Amino acid sequence: MSVVARQGFKYSIIGYIGFLLGTVSAIFIFPNDFEFYGKLRYILPTAEMLVPFVVLGISYSNVKFFHKVEKDGKKQNMLSLSLLTVFINFIIFTAVFFVLPFFYPKFKHSEAWKIKEMILPLILILSFCAIFNKYTSNYKRIVVSNIFDNLFPKIANLGAFCLFYYFALSQKIAFAFFFGIFALMLFGYVYYTNKLEKIQLDFNTDYFKKNDFWKDFFNYSFFGFLGTFGNYLAINSFMIGEFMGMEEVGIYSVLYALISLISIPQLGLFNISAPIINKTLADGDMEELDRFHKKTSLSLYFLGAVLFSCIMVGFPYLTQFMPKNGTMLREYEPVVWIWGSAVLVDLATGFNGNIISLSKYYRFNILVMLLLAGLTIGLNYYFIKNTDLKLIGIALSTAISLTIYNVIKILFNYIVFKVSPLNIEMIFVSIICTLAITVAIVLPNFNSNLINLVYKPSVVLVLIYIGNYFTKIFPIENYLNMKFIKSVFKFK
C-alpha cells in the first residue's frame, strides 16, 4: 500500500472516530448542562474566528512555496520566520484587543473580554498549530495532524465537561484541563515536526529579500487570509454567545452535531474528487466534468436526503433518551428542519467550490466566502435584534446565506465552465423523501419511545427503497452487497 493510500485510510478512520465521539457526546452527555457546555463551545470557535487575524494566511504560503524553499535549502528559514511573524502579529493583535475598550467602551461588557484569559492564549496556540499543520502536510503526513485537529478539541470539550459536571470540580480546573489539551497539541506538533526533520531556527531575512520573494509570499498569504472568513459556524457561536447567552450556544452546538450527520456522505469528497477535477480542467473536458459533477451531486443529495428524513422522524423520540434538558431541544425542532434543509442544498451543489478553487478563477471563491461571512453576520444581527425567533432566527440566517452562497457558485460555474450539479432526478428524490416523511409521521405511535425511534426511521428507509426501486435514481444495489463491503477493506 502506498504512503498516500495508507495516510488516506488512516485519515478517514480518525475523521469518523472524531465525528462519532463528538456526536455521541453532544447527544448523551453535554445536554446535562447547556450553560457550561455553551462556555466551552464559545471559547474555541471565538478563538478560531480570530486566529486568521494573527496567522494572516502565512500557513497557506508554507504549502505554496515549500518546494521552492526546499530546493534552495531554506525550509527551516521559512518555518522560523513564519513562527516569528505569527508571534509578532499576536503581540500587535493583543495590543489592539486591550486598546479597543478605550474607543468602544461596550467591548468590556462582551463575553470575549470577560474570558480573555482563556481566549488570547488559545489564539496564540492555535496560530502556531496552524503553521505546523500546513508545514507538515508537505511531507504527505496528514494523519497525526488530523488527530491533533479532529480528536484533541473533542477530548478537550468532553474532558473539561466531565470534570465539571460528573466530578463536581471547579470551572477553573475544568478550563485548565481544556487549555492544557491545546497546549499539549502544540507540543505534539513541535515534537512531530522535529521528528520529520530536526527543527533548526533560522531568522535570517536575506533569502526573502532576494528578488523580492517576500512580496510573492505576502501576496499569496493575503489571499489565503481573505479566504478564511467563511466560517459561519464560528460566527454563529460567537454572536449567539454575545447576544443570547451561553445556554443557547450549548443548545446550538448540540443541534449542529445532529444536523452534521446529514453531511456524512460529504466526508473526504474533496480528496477523492480533486484529482479528477484537476484532470478535466487541464484537458478542457467540460462535458466529462459536467457528467461527473451531476453524478456526484446526485449521490450526495440522495444519501443526505435519506439521513435527513430519518433524523426528521426520529428526532422527537431521540430527545426522550437525552439527559434532563432533552425537552429544550424538542422546542427547537424547527431549527433542525430549516438548517437541515440548507445543508441538503449544500450537498446538492456537490464540489462547486472545489471547481472554482482549482481553476484560474480561484479568487472568485474568496469573494463569495467574504459574501457568506457578511450575509451571516448581517442576517444574524437582524434576526437577533428585530425578532424573537432566537435560534430559529439563526437557522433562517444560516439557511438564507448558505443558499445564496451556493446559488452564486452554481451560476458562476454554469456561465464560465458550462457545468451544473443540478438534475431532474433531485426533484424525484425530494418527492420520495417528502412522501416517506409524511407517511412515517401520520402512522400511529407506540407507547415505547425506543420502538418509535427504530420503527419510524425504518418505515422511511423502506418507503425510500421502494420509491428508488421503481425510479432507479440511485444504484443502491451496487452498495448493498458483500463485494462492495469487502472492497472497502482492500487497499491497492
DSSP letters for 196-214: HS--------HHHHGGGHH
pLDDT at residue 264, rounded to an integer? 74
Cell 416517506: give the residue.
436
CA dist., res. 400 & res. 338, Å (int): 10
**Which residues of the chain carry a pLDDT beneath 50?**
1-5, 484-485, 487-492
What torsion, rounded to 10 degrees, do the Cα atoms 447, 451, 457, 458 define?
Answer: -130
Report which DSSP code applies to 147: I
> What type of residue sits at position 139?
Y
CA dist., res. 52 & res. 33, Å (int): 31
Helices of type H across 197-268: 206-209, 213-226, 232-243, 246-259
pLDDT at residue 265, rounded to an integer? 72
CB 174 within 8 A of CB 47: no
pLDDT at residue 258, rounded to an integer? 87
Tell whether pTM > 0.75: yes
pLDDT at residue 2, rounded to an integer? 47
pLDDT at residue 488, rounded to an integer? 43
Cα 97 to Cα 87, 94, 187, 323, 469: the distances in Å are 15, 5, 26, 39, 59
